[in-house]
């Protein structure tokens, strides 16, 4: 079975904004984030992204702009020797009552189908509660980064609304260091 990690996008890989990220110019990677994805890849992991992009449904940008942001992501990442296999996004607004907007797990289910993997134990990394709730709903292993919206939890104990066993990392680079140095799971006996 392939090794897969699922990442949130805004606030986890790139700088987030309350005004939404609407263009490739506004899409700016966080320090060390692209290097972190490359490190994860080089340790044998595939990476998929699951991202709420309600700015689409709100009419703040169009799919062509989103594709251009992701072309920038792929290009900058490949310059660092890294690769994201797939980007799954929810284009809806909260009022659409869809099943793919995190904290609902629809994007994760799509990823599981695309990769043909059971998501149980698959690491999910995000800067917000709803990222980890969506992952936990399908059995993913939750990791919070303290970048983006996660900055509010620096130096604090996490509220117990977070899924049990949530691990906290300063940023994506710290998560990557943790992941690649983790001993492999013991074979089931
Ligand atoms: Mg985020
Ligand atoms: Zn949706």
pLDDT in tens, 90-121: 999 999 999 999 999 999 999 999 999 999 99
For Cα atoms 173, 142, 110, give the angle at the middle one, nearest 5 degrees: 100
Residue 90 to residues 2, 104, 110, Cα–Cα distance (Å): 24, 10, 11
Q: Whose atoms come closest to the Cα of 14: which ligand?
A: 1
CA torsion, ordered 176, 177, 183, 187, to nearest 10 deg: 0
- Cα(14) to centroid(ligand 1), Å: 9
pLDDT surpasses 70 at 52 = yes
| Distance in Å, CA 57 to ligand 2 centroid | 9
| Stated pTM of the model | 0.96
Task: Give residue 90 CA to ligand 2 midpoint distance, Å.
Answer: 4
CB 143 within 8 A of CB 169: yes
Residue count (the chain): 189
- CB half-sphere exposure, 141, CA atoms < 13 A: 10
Q: What is the DSSP letter of 86?
A: E
Q: Which residues are catalytic?
A: 8, 10
Contact between 37 and 47 under an 8 Å Cβ cutoff? The reply is yes
What pLDDT band is residue 183 in, cutting at 50, 70 and 90?
A: confident
Name the pLDDT band for 188 (thresholds 50, 70, 90): low
């Amino acid at each position: 079975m392939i090794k897969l990690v699922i990442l949130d996008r805004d606030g986890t890989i790139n700088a987030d904004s309350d005004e939404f990220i609407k263009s490739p110019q506004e899409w700016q990677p966080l320090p060390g984030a692209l290097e972190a994805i490359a490190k994860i890849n080089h340790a044998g992991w595939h990476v998929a992204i699951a991202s709420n992009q309600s700015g689409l449904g709100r009419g703040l940008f169009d799919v062509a702009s989103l594709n251009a942001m992701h072309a920038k992501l792929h290009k900058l990442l490949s310059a660092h020797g890294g690769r994201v296999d797939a980007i799954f996004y929810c284009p809806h607004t909260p009022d659409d009552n869809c099943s793919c907007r995190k904290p609902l797990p629809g994007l994760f289910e799509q990823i599981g189908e695309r990769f043909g993997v059971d998501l149980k134990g698959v690491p999910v990394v995000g800067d917000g509660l709803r990222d980890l709730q969506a992952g936990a709903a399908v059995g993913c292993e939750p990791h919070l980064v303290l970048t983006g919206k996660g900055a509010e939890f620096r130096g604090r104990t996490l509220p117990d609304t977070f899924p049990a066993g949530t691990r906290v990392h300063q940023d994506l680079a710290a998560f990557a260091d943790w992941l690649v140095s983790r001993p492999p799971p013991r074979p089931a006996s």
